[in-house]
Structure formats: structure tokens, C-alpha cells
A = this chain, B = another copy of it.
Amino acid sequence: MTSEDLMVGTALGAWKQSVAQVDKTLAALSDAELQAEIAPGRNRIYYLLGHLTAVNDRLLPLLRLGDRLHPELDEPFIANPDRTFAKDPLEPSALRSAWSEVNGKLLAALEKLRPEEWLERHDAVSVEDFAKEPLRNRLAVLLSRAQHTMLHEGQMRLAKPR
């Protein structure tokens, strides 16, 4: 393995770890428990799971890895706060499936990227800007999203029964 391969492998390990932490927290919760708020008056775990699913799903076009699986999740889980709508957009079990499906498709695509492709620009930066700021690459987005996942996982775990 080259140094670049090792660095990419290390970064992918960190990404997988962030998804695995959420999976572990979810496995300890029933569908009914997903309705719990992380703190009084704050987001429900259900909402945060939808939010993480939508944000990770958006990585597919942002990293030019393919089409999104669940664009319909943006409205309830990114554009609006929790409990904006009278009825939740999907059942907890369907949301769990969407989370797994998105991360499965994403990981399969991420694992195919060659080291030099990791250093290419992400899709929200222009060719001109990227020439000046080469750290705005796919790898930066992946690491940033892993941290985003952990930020919310740290909140989700607060609602777990002690």
C-alpha cells in the first residue's frame, strides 16, 4: 500500500466509526424510544436520525458519487425544525432502513475512489476557487460530515435510558 492508500484507508476508518456509533445507539433503542427528546423541549432522536440520513444522502451528489436516494427527507429534516408537521413523514422502521440504505450506497462508492480522486474538488466549490483552495476536496467533506454525525450522535445518546 502507498502512503496515499494508507491515509485514505485511515480516513475511511474514521468515517465508518461515526456511522457505527449511530448504529450502536440505534440498536439500543426501540422504535417508541426514538420519539424521546434528547433534552426537554429539544429535538427527538427520530428527528436527528432523519437529519443525519438526509445530510449523508446529500453526500452522494456533493462528492459526485451518484444520485440521491432520499431527497424527500430534506424538507422535514433539514429545511424545517422538529415537529413542524403534524404527522411524521415516515415510520421509525422505514427511517432506520433509509439510514442503512444511504450509508450502504455511500460506503460502496467511497471505497471505490482512488487516492487522487479524494483530492479532487467537491461539487459545491467552483473550479476557480478550488485552484486557490485545494483543501476544499472530497476528503475534507468526508471528515467534516463524520464530525457532523458525531455531534448529533453525542446528543442522541443523551436520550438513552441509563
Contact = CB atoms under 8 A, between A and B. Distances in A.
Interface of A: 1, 3-4, 6-11, 13-14, 17-18, 38-40, 42, 115-116, 118-119, 134-135, 137, 139-140, 143-144, 146-148, 150-155, 158
A40 B38 CA distance: 11
A9 B135 contact: yes
Consensus secondary structure, chain A interface:
helix
Nearest to A14: B143
B10 A42 contact: no
Contacts of A14: 140, 143-144, 147
Contacts of A155: 154-155, 158
Contact of A139 (B7, B40, B150): B7
